[in-house]
Amino acid sequence: MNKTITIDGLSVPFQEGQTIMDAALAAGVYIPRLCHNPEFKPHGSCKLCTVKVNGRNVASCTMPAVEGQQVLNDTDELNADRLALTQMLFVEGNHLCPACEKSGNCQLQAVAYYLGMMSPHYNHFYPQREVDASHPDVILDRNRCIYCELCVRASRDADGKNVFGLSGRGIQSSLVVNSASGRLGDTSLAATDKAVQVCPTGAILQKGKGFTVPIGRRVFDHHTIKEIQTGGGHD
Amino acid sequence: MTFELETAANPEKLRRVVIEPVSRVEGHGKVTLLLDDDNRVHQARFHIVEFRGFEKFIQGRPYTEVPVLVQRLCGICPVSHHLGATKAMDMIVGAKLTPTAEKLRRLMHFGQILQSHALHFYYLASPDLLFGFDSDVAKRNIVGVAAAYPDIARQGVALRKYGQEIIRLTAGKRVHGTGAIPGGVNKNLSREERVFLRKDIGQIVAWSQAAVELIKRIYTGNPDFHNGFGYFKSSFMSLVRDDGALDLYHGGLRARDEHGQDIFDHVDYGHYWDYVHEEVRPWSYMKFPFIRSRGREEGWYRVGPLARVVNCDFIPTPLAEAERKTFKEFGGSSATQATLAYHWARMIEMLHAAEGIQELLLDNDLSGDDLVNAGTPALRGVGVIEAPRGTLIHHYRVNEDGLIVRANLIVSTTHNNQAMNEAVRQVALQYLDGQEVTEGLLNHIEVAIRAFDPCLSCATHAVGKMPLEVELVDAGGAVVSRLIKSPDGRCGI
């Protein structure tokens, strides 16, 4: 007999060892997320997937599912917190969607639309961040990095290269690359690496390929991120 | 004559009249007049009061991003900046366009010309032309036109809408799309989309003809007034095709003086700086370009519909060509230097754009799949296009990593800077000098500016180049100290 939890009153089965996020994904229940990608070990840093379990806020991507958990997910309170977190991500970096190649394919933008973000709300930090275009095939635009570390995990766990890492703490954090010069072009990164494909924003892009996908054919032009990440999903 | 009324000898003794904002133009500008006790005009200046700075803040961005980024200069003519920048990036990637890519871009550009010219003529200029320059200000607007001339207003809205549909289907969105990319385009036009657009194009051509008839009827109804309003002579500059035809998308630069004599012709715009220089003046954020061989004083010129229609040898679509001939022959070519003739020329171009769209929509190349090319990369790219308001120059340098290190944009309105000031001064002398200033008279000045359809938002980008003069004046009016910053950024006392 399957073990189950409930998410917003819906009975959701899970296997031993799965997280709440794993169970939700398997059941087609959408929990907003940015740093979580089912292909990689959970990270629990963006906190967008925070749900309420028996009255406590927890990151659903790292919290193991336990028989009988009553999980609240799609509530006004949690979605308001998620909106605020998303707005903070926007103002901490330099996310200029109108001129970004990833617009329409960007998970940060799609989550913002899903949560009904109409403005950044908070004052922009306008940080000074570097663009590293030294690699022949890949461009690293730190202005758009949200420190999800998906590229770090992908390079380490899938590509076996350890090209990316985070340096510094808090607001001083920055995405660094593993070369003596500090330049992407001097690393072993290849354009075909998983680390290049996995960025949820426009921080890591194929070089020289701007705007080749026309408006109307981008991932989120016709589907919400909920539809894409659940394959149809529950309302 | 040139530069007369630019700077009064004793400004402190004069009364200042300001028109701010100049209305029914794109962007924010103002006019300042200095008058003496008898209302004689001693100084008249057209200022751009906003600052955009695109030349500076695109530095460090990847070249692939620029065509989409710089079109945010403007909400009216974004396609022109989009295509001007993409043409420059074609040079950066060393691409020769496929027929499909070039024709799709031309179609997009015709859509842009159509919608922008319709916007200007019907929404911004027609209230002056239909009601009179000093008519009731409460009705002198597009709402007043819709009430008094509903058919004309409806046609204006429909023409603009059709142009926007062309842009939507070629660029993905009506405003700020992504259709052109370095080396080509990112989508073609499906056969279904062509059928959809062909459905209404006959009506669009007919309405464009009606627009030419309308401005022709207005203009020729009072030829002396329209020819003489804000009149002055100048050189013209525009792109022309190899055979001298009007070409809004591509060609060589042609400049002709006020007598119609060539200053230069079929110039490769990749070296425009050998022919056109820019001057900065302390009282405006907008630079003053001039033709190098004629110098700062005599080298200023006009661009835009009037320049193009007068400069070209012919227009390669039949209805517009017939109208060009009528225009040039009118009154012994008396309209070919007239400020208000811009409107007439603009409508001839709108007709040409409608005909061009009609012709292109029959071309199967629009539905081809060969969209992008590349070749030998370069570190410098120059793209020039004839935007609705005139010649538009985009010039970029990139580093070895493909990041922008320098940009220079000379937009249509900047080319017309001196000419607009000249028109303002002529109208000030003709209509305001010695008169009691009224709203209607001040609107005459705005009418002269509107003839150029200036886009002030597009025109101001230079950072740190504008010379400044700051004076510290004591209570008695005596200058205590003065700080001067020269165009090269150096300061002195």
CATH of the domain at A146: 3.30.70.20
The domain boundary, picked from A74, A107, A132, lies at A74
Any B CB within 8 A of A125 CB = no
**Residue A80: inside a domain, yes or no?**
no
Residues A205 and A102 in one domain: yes
Residues 127-156 on A with a CB inside 8 Å of B are 131, 133-134, 139, 141
**Residue A186: inside a domain, yes or no?**
yes
Residues A52 and A108 in one domain: no
Find the helix or strand (DSSP H, E) in which B479 lies: strand B479-485
Identify the pLDDT of residue B29: 79
Any A CB within 8 A of B62 CB = yes
Residues A113 and A55 in one domain: no
Identify the pLDDT of residue B434: 87
Here the CATH number for the domain that contains residue A36 is: 3.10.20.740
Angle at B46 between CA B69 and CA B125, to 5 degrees: 75
Residues A129 and A161 in one domain: yes
Separation between Cα atoms, residue A84 and residue A87, nearest integer Å: 5
Q: To the nearest whole number, what is the mean pLDDT of chain A?
A: 95
Identify the pLDDT of residue A234: 41
Contact B64 A208 (CB under 8 A): yes
- Locate the domains of chain B by residue range: 51-423, 467-493
Residues 3-62 on A with a CB inside 8 Å of B are none
Q: What is the Cα gyration radius of chain A?
A: 18
**Residue A162: inside a domain, yes or no?**
yes
Q: Which of A133, A213, A214 sits opposite B401 (nearest CB)?
A: A133
**Residue A157: inside a domain, yes or no?**
yes
User: What average pLDDT does range A190-195 have in this prediction?
Assistant: 98
Residues 163-202 on B with a CB inside 8 Å of A are 171-173, 176-179, 181-182, 186-187
Residues A116 and A197 in one domain: yes
Any B CB within 8 A of A230 CB = no
Contact A99 B69 (CB under 8 A): yes
Identify the pLDDT of residue A111: 98
Residues A193 and A118 in one domain: yes
Contact A212 B187 (CB under 8 A): no
Residues A60 and A114 in one domain: no
Whether the per-residue pLDDT at A204 is higher than 70: the answer is: yes
**Residue A89: inside a domain, yes or no?**
no
State the total domains in chain A.
2
**Residue A49: inside a domain, yes or no?**
yes
Contact A207 B402 (CB under 8 A): yes
Identify the pLDDT of residue B227: 97
Chain A neighbors of B62, CB-CB under 8 A: 131, 133, 139, 141, 207, 210
Classify each residue of B272-285 as buried b or exposed e, where b means 16 or more C-beta atoms within 10 Å of its C-beta: beebbbbeebeebb
Identify the pLDDT of residue B48: 77
Separation between Cα atoms, residue B229 and residue B126, nearest integer Å: 16
Mutate to test the interface with A, among B86, B100, B178 (most CBs of A within 10 A): B178
Which residues are within 8 A (CB) of B150 and not within 5 positions of it... i.e. 6 or more apart? none
Q: Which domain holds residue A129?
A: 97-221
Identify the pLDDT of residue B300: 96
Mutate to test the interface with B, among A206, A215, A220 (most CBs of B within 10 A): A215
pLDDT tens digits in sequence order for chain B, 493 residues long? 447 788 888 888 888 888 888 877 777 778 888 989 898 999 988 887 777 788 888 999 999 999 999 999 888 899 999 999 999 999 999 999 999 999 999 999 999 999 999 999 999 999 999 999 999 999 999 999 999 999 999 999 999 999 999 999 999 999 999 999 999 999 999 999 999 999 999 999 999 999 999 999 999 999 999 999 999 999 999 999 999 999 999 999 999 999 999 999 999 999 999 999 998 887 777 889 999 999 998 999 999 999 999 999 999 999 999 999 999 999 999 999 999 999 999 999 999 999 999 999 999 999 999 999 999 999 999 999 999 999 999 999 999 999 999 999 999 999 999 999 999 999 999 998 888 888 888 899 999 999 998 887 676 555 545 445 556 666 666 666 665 656 555 656 5
Distances (CA, A) of B173 to A84, B167, B178, B237, B370: 30, 7, 8, 31, 22
Q: Tell me which chain B residue has its CA closest to the CA of residue A99.
A: B69
**Residue A20: inside a domain, yes or no?**
yes
Q: What fold does the segment set B51-423 form as a domain?
A: Cytochrome-c3 Hydrogenase; chain B (1.10.645)
Q: Which of A133, A211, A213 sits opposite B68 (nearest CB)?
A: A211
Residues A175 and A113 in one domain: yes
Residues A115 and A48 in one domain: no
Chain A neighbors of B92, CB-CB under 8 A: none
Identify the pLDDT of residue B461: 53
Any A CB within 8 A of B72 CB = yes
Separation between Cα atoms, residue B280 and residue B271, nearest integer Å: 21
Contact B172 A213 (CB under 8 A): no
Mutate to test the interface with B, among A212, A217, A221 (most CBs of B within 10 A): A212
Which residues are within 8 A (CB) of A64 and not within 5 positions of it... i.e. 6 or more apart? A17, A18, A19, A20
Chain A neighbors of B372, CB-CB under 8 A: 212
Identify whether the C-beta of residue A229 lies closer than 8 Å to the C-beta of residue B202: no
Chain A neighbors of B93, CB-CB under 8 A: 208
Separation between Cα atoms, residue A233 and residue A224, nearest integer Å: 11
Identify the pLDDT of residue B16: 87
**Residue A234: inside a domain, yes or no?**
no
Residues A14 and A125 in one domain: no
